[in-house]
A and B are shown apart, each in its own frame.
Chain A
Amino acid sequence: MSAEPDEQPVLEIRDLVTRFYTDEGTVKAVDGSSFDLYEGETLGIVGESGSGKSVTALSMLQLVDAPGRIEGGSVRYRGDDLLEKSEAEMRSIRGNDIAMMFQDPMTSLNPVFTVGDQISRVIKTHQDVSDAAARERTIELMADVGIPEPTSRVDNYPHQFSGGMRQRALLAMAISCEPDVLIADEPTTALDVTIETQIFNVLDKLQEKYGMSIILITHDLGVVAGTCDRVAVAYGGRVVERAGVDALFENPRHPYTRGLMRSIPRLTDDTDRLTPVKGDVPNLTDLPSGCSFHPRCPHATAECESYDPELREVEPGREAACLHARGYNLSKSALETEGVQADGGSPATPATDGGESQ
């Protein structure tokens, strides 16, 4: 399950930058994102809308279309940088080594072909097998993902499937070539909670059977808690905290993660008053200066408005990108080298009253 930090990661993403050049301005969808995926683990990438989590996944597979451009960083898959691969090379990697499963089962399946046809086609794209063998494998995969009566349902069209069954069919398609890595982008967001639980149970079983490493992209902290081994928290186009799942939920280090933990309504807690994160999720065309969370952060100081903290180790196995996070030992001289004037004498004060110094 949980990976050793000294092991070589399956995927190593460093300083990934993807921008979209739109009429409204440049959207910094991914703005220097870094994380690793280890063998056999499930890594959760959790974030709200505009955190850049979906574009990160698309960028890893070079699936970003114009006006978007991957502009920097590296995506090392077992040592090779995927961003340097040609389209032909990527085509044999996608689906085969790294498969992706998308959010919306309504639009990801083609309504005019049977579900079985669509799964078989993926198999035949990557493997040299007969129609009969592909069909047999399709039925086997449909059974694997828990579709009842696969021998008859293989000939059904997508509209004859419920939402949960369609999502299972997409899962069957994604694992059809026994990929090394599965990227699942909000795989259960459109589903009811009882169906969601079923899908995650199937995913657990498949991971065990095929030994996949999984990246799970979600906005739901409950899903992360129940499914992931390690977590990367995304905000404003980058990862602001990385930790093992237990450590993250026990004691989050980044103020944003802490804010999320405070604001979610919980079944176990019946206090009437919730504690929201103030303000709104940032606009990626116009990210705040310095730390992009500072306008919403209860701990922000003047430094936070100009210094853009990188992700640093705050204790073995966990990282955070916050000047004020415990263990983020950035010395005064380092701050000054960065051009942040940090001499003031007064203790750190929240940024809410720091605005008058402009």
Chain B
Amino acid sequence: MSDDPLLSVSGLHKYFTQNDGFIDRLLGADETVKAVNGVSFDIERGETLGLVGESGSGKSTTARSVLRLDEPTKGTVSYDGTDLTALSDREMTEMRKRIQIVFQDPASSLNRRKTVGQIIKQPMEIHGLYEGERDARVDELMETVGLPPQYSNRYPHEFSGGQRQRVGIARALAVDPDFIVADEPVSALDVSIQAQILNLLEDLQEEFDLTLLFIAHDLSVIRHVCDRVAVMYLGEIVELADADELFSNPQHPYTRALLGAIPQPVPELARQRQVLEGEVPSPLDPPSGCSFNPRCPEATEECTSIDPTLDDVAGATGGHKAACIHVDEFETGAGVPSAAQGVDERFSIENFDAEPTLATDGRGRDQGRGDDDR
């Protein structure tokens, strides 16, 4: 860890108060949902931190609180030395030149009444940037994200899901930010399109020196994109480690269970998937002690009373942290085995057995094409 992270989140809390209405308030029947409950992490310059968890884990709320799209209840968010939680609204707006977000659903996060050119231009107008060269910059940005610039007069509905997500990314890049939060950027996309967007994000990160906070529920996606990973459960980080380390040597029982439950696209592995019983408890009524204890295969009596903190795992390297009183010594294994043969190799284009009768009997491509024969 360097001493100068780009983003440093410390003791972040976000509580939502639920009261169903006037009567509840009168009776004082407020219920507090601790959506984010004391989260701390750093993001180094140029790295990608993955935030992974099931629904209700608080991963999106964490990101929204970092950006102050939801006001944090408690805690500090230090961005390049500035505490974002202490900024006035105007100062925060200024800061948003440097911090941008890409949303999950490109269909609903783009204004359908504006052309994509206007959508991409808008952040520059808001921040008063690139005066006089905005149109040129829109074209350039569209090219950067793999869209033909001549489409800038079209509306979002004229694009496919993958293309709309490219528009969302171009919009985020428009103000030339240092830091981008990507909130489930590929989960609404088709499988064959996901890879295009993930590769694009990777390229852009390199080209523009971006630092990324990448939120996803899909651990396979996280594995490909992230340098480090934080696993969240019920508003808390339960494990934090380098990506390779987390996938090969997970320490927390929840991370292990999550990895074991994923059906992998390999039949012999998928059939062995492990069932984690139970559901994520209601954040209105979290379990006492460790919030994972009701579902945990390793849980003991103490787990119902002791709320574990996220601590360095003894004997581990690279800042591997876990929040479990039963993790006292680093253990290897328990993770995902690495495939013996790369997928690329097995299903490669070169490996495709072209039908010999078409390739070798002297026929092949016809110059005239069949159209006129029909």
Mark A residues whose CB is within 8 Å of B.
Answer: 48-49, 162-165, 192-198, 200-201, 219-227, 245-246, 249, 252, 255, 258-277, 280-281, 289, 298-299, 301-303, 305-307, 323-332, 339-349, 354, 357-358
Contact = CB atoms under 8 A, between A and B. Distances in A.
Contacts of B44: none
Instruction: Across the A-B interface, give the 7 residue pairs with the lowest CB-CB distance, nearest first.
Output: A226-B270, A306-B370, A276-B195, A222-B263, A326-B353, A274-B195, A225-B270
A49 B190 CA distance: 7
Contacts of B23: none
B257 A349 contact: no
B277 interface: yes
B259 A267 contact: yes
Q: Is the interface of A mostly helix, strand, loop or mixed?
A: loop
A275 B352 CA distance: 15
Most chain B beta-carbon contacts within 10 A, residue among A194, A266, A325, A332: A194
B373 A339 contact: yes
B367 A357 contact: yes
A348 B354 contact: yes
Interface stretch (B122-130, B131-139, B303-311, B340-348): B340-348
Contacts of A226: 263-264, 267, 270-271, 273
B204 interface: no
Contacts of B369: 302, 305-306, 341, 354, 357-358
Contact of A265 (B161, B195, B261, B270): B195
A331 B374 CA distance: 19
Nearest to A355: B369
Contact of B359 (A225, A227, A305, A348): A348
Interface in B244-292: 244, 247, 257-259, 261-267, 269-271, 273-277, 279-280
Contact of B373 (A193, A274, A276, A341): A341
A25 to B, nearest CB: 15
B236 to A, nearest CB: 17
A258 B352 contact: yes
Interface of B: 54-55, 160-163, 190-196, 198-199, 202, 217-221, 223-224, 243-244, 247, 257-259, 261-267, 269-271, 273-277, 279-280, 336-339, 342-344, 346-349, 352-355, 357-371, 373-374
B364 A197 contact: no
19 contacts: A48-B192, A194-B261, A197-B263, A197-B274, A200-B263, A225-B263, A225-B267, A265-B224, A267-B220, A270-B223, A270-B244, A270-B338, A281-B190, A302-B366, A323-B355, A325-B355, A327-B355, A331-B357, A345-B364
Nearest to A223: B263
A270 B247 contact: yes
B343 A276 contact: no
A268 B266 contact: yes
Contacts of A195: 279
A260 B343 CA distance: 11
Contacts of B277: 198
Contact of A273 (B199, B347, B371, B373): B199
Contacts of B355: 323-330
